[in-house]
Amino acid sequence: MPVLYVVGSVNLDLIAHLARMPAAGETVVAKSGALSPGGKGANQALAARRMGVPVALVAEVGDDSFQEPALRLLKTDGVDLSAVRTGAGSTGLALIWVSPEGENTIVVMPGANQTFLPTRFDPGPALAAGDAVLISMEVPENVVEAAFAWAVRHHAPVYLDPAPVPDRFSASLFRADVLMPNRGEAERLLGVELPDVRAAKWAAEKLVERGARVGVVKLGSEGLVYASRSGVFVRPARKAEVVDTTGAGDCFAGVLAAGLMSGLGLAEAVDRAMDAAAIAVTRPGAQPSFPYLHELDSKL
Ligand code: RIB
């Protein structure tokens, strides 16, 4: 069965739910808190795995006490971790504040995510027909570029979530099969403000002009816009009681990639990914909030 290779970061998330964000120099007491597995790569791998496709994570963690909790859910759900290397640094750590509206502020201490070497894709694991590669950008840029080239070399579809957008974003990365920034990331990639859906439609088409087969611009509570050679499409947001948006974009990316590689059409895969992200925001944390396929099926 084809495998989705996910290249990206692994973090342990330390999450505090706050009644209000602290001002500079102020100490506030959290309403609640949790330690839970996170990191954009790990999150995307888990979201895709919960859709029932075989997933292998290519990542780097530290030889420390954070490693086990950071990888726990991936192990439980059967993500192949044989390409997760234990490096010299500490496992990535993310400090996350969540506001009463469910919006998050994240500070990442990358640790081992930064010692990840591009040579791991030279030649890298062999890719078979039907395999696909999903990449996010919380790892060094030269790793992203090497993983992208590895996918292209094997004629594997490459799905790129450009989060976070680095200062130098190589033009070759626009040639992803699916390029899926959120609004802020699309603004950075294209160097313009995107205040409304109309501007986001323009942006999605621009991503296709720059080389993407499909350009998706995620607009949070305004839904999303995607463009391909067949046209540009707007999808309204699902209604949801938002508790915590942490990892919702990763959930979207993983579920979209899983849908496309298992043969769903683009519109169907986008709708499923939006449904999954709409469930994820109603639950706290990143990975613990991601739904399984049967939950989506029963909801529909
Ligand atoms: O996208 C959400 C993720 O960003 C969190 O899990 C945190 O680890 C940071 O990587």
Q: Which residues pair with 158 in a beta bridge?
A: 133
CATH number of residue 186's parent domain: 3.40.1190.20
> Domain limits at 257?
4-299
What separation, in Å, do the N-terminal and C-terminal C-alpha atoms of the chain show?
26
**pLDDT tens figures, 11-38:** 999 999 999 998 999 999 999 999 999 9
What number does the ligand 1 atom closest to the CA of 9 have? 10
**C-alpha closest to that of 141 among 110, 171, 112, 118:** 118
Position 132 scores a pLDDT of 98
Helix then strand count (H, E) for the chain reads: 8, 13
What number does the ligand 1 atom closest to the CA of 11 have? 8
Any residues with Cβ below 6 Å from ligand 1, and which?
Answer: 9, 11, 13, 38-40, 43, 94, 106, 108, 138, 246-247, 249-250, 286
**pLDDT tens figures, 54-70:** 999 999 999 999 999 99
The catalytically annotated residue of 161, 250, 271, 275 is 250
Is 13 annotated as catalytic? no
pLDDT band, residue 179 (cuts 50/70/90): very high
Task: Compute the distance from residue 209 Cα to the ligand 1 centre, in Å.
Answer: 30
Give me the mean pLDDT over the 218-233 stretch. Answer: 96
3-class secondary structure, 171: helix
**Phi, psi of 136, rounded to the nearest 5 degrees:** -125, 175
pTM > 0.95: yes or no = yes
Position 143 scores a pLDDT of 97
Specify the number of domains making up the chain: 1
Q: In this prediction, what percent of the chain has a pLDDT beyond 70?
A: 99
Q: Cα(245)–Cα(281) distance, rounded to whole angstroms?
A: 5
